[in-house]
Amino acid sequence: MHPTPSPLTVLTEEESLLRDQVLAYARERLAPRVAEMDREGRIDRSLLPGLFELGVMGVEVPTELGGSGSSFMSAIVAVEALGTVDASLSVFVDVQNTLVNNAVLRWANEEQKRRYCPRLCSEWVGSYALSEAGSGSDAFALAARATRRGDRWILDGRKLWITNAGESSFFIVFANAAPERGYKGITAFLVERDFPGFTVGKKEDKLGIRASSTCELVLEGCEVPEGNVLGEVGMGYKIAIETLNEGRIGIGAQMVGIAQGSFDHAMRYVLERKQFGKAIAEHQGVEFQYARMAMEIEAARLMVYNAARLKDAGRSFVKEAAMAKLFASEVAERTASLALELFGGVGFTREYPAEKFYRDAKIGKIYEGTSNMQLVTIGKLLRTAYAG
């Protein structure tokens, strides 16, 4: 079940078809596996071929490179739809599209695109490796180093919190090739899992999105061919900033999906559960709560869709992306919390999905830029606009 979109959120025919296909996949193939994946802390790999067959692992990649040749908005619709059933698989698809494929399409040369895009659309999962122990919100304080040696680059360091790392065959890794130049030495490299000196390390045991792998990467003399520099040497800071701006819209979509999924489950429950002779949904105190929840979800969805449409139109969207990510993460947390309460005591058990949505929602305020960092971005852009 999903609500009929209001006039302002009507999708194109292509986007609606993709949403319906992804929802059908999520409900028929993903939903029966969600609880077990959450318990075991891993994605069921039997689900992955279906994602590639649907075309959602290469939504924006041109058809001549093996992708679906669709829009950024279509990728956002797919991420949201998966989020209504499982946040872990939602972020799995989100990272593949809004970070990895996005960066390759925008910054890779033609040879790199021909080499990697078809595999990313048909069999390979990708990861985006920027964060380190001392480099989180201060993304450019990274300590990983890149040293040129003949026709190769040698990478040394450690990366933390790398989404999809457990399943990935392909990594966009950021390291500093000229530390004396500060952030202007940061460079992005295309790294394959079997490159010498590259290891996927410890997997984090997390509160939510437990099935999504979040791992350490160990670079110990990792050998990367000279031809695997993404963009140009020293361009990594620009690639990172601009890619993450788009990635925030994807996280906003994931959060809208979480909010909608938890709301859908809560509505079914309050319509069935009776107290004092009638469904609890008919009690005005409850009615006011779910009416406000629905309003906030719709507002968050509009903000996310607006940012995605701006991006597709080639217009400025950084402020709108930050606002959408910030607001959608707050709505997801509030909705999941209240939905759990509407279940009453059973909501606090693992017999119902409410507690999982609640756990999954929390990460939205943290990854791909904390809420405070979104406020910093919004504030700076507003000052610039009003001062100009």
- Closest residue by Cα to residue 60 from 84, 78, 85: 78
How far is Cα 22 from Cα 35, in angstroms, rounded to an integer? 19
Active site includes 28? no
CA distances from 32 to 27, 35, 151, 268, 364 (A): 8, 7, 49, 18, 24
How far is Cα 211 from Cα 87, in angstroms, rounded to an integer? 9
**Those residues with Cβ within 8 angstroms of residue 17's Cβ, 6 or more apart along the chain or in another chain:** none
CB 36 within 8 A of CB 76: no
Burial class from Cβ neighbours inside 10 Å (0-12, 13-18, 19+) for residue 341 reads: middle
Q: What is the amino acid identity at position 22?
A: V
How far is Cα 372 from Cα 384, in angstroms, rounded to an integer? 18
Q: What is the dihedral of CA 161, 83, 58, 367, to 10 degrees?
A: -30
Helix (H, G, I), strand (E, B) or coil at 152: strand
CB 273 within 8 A of CB 280: yes
Neighbour count for residue 118 (Cβ, 10 Å): 17
Name the residues annotated as catalytic. 368
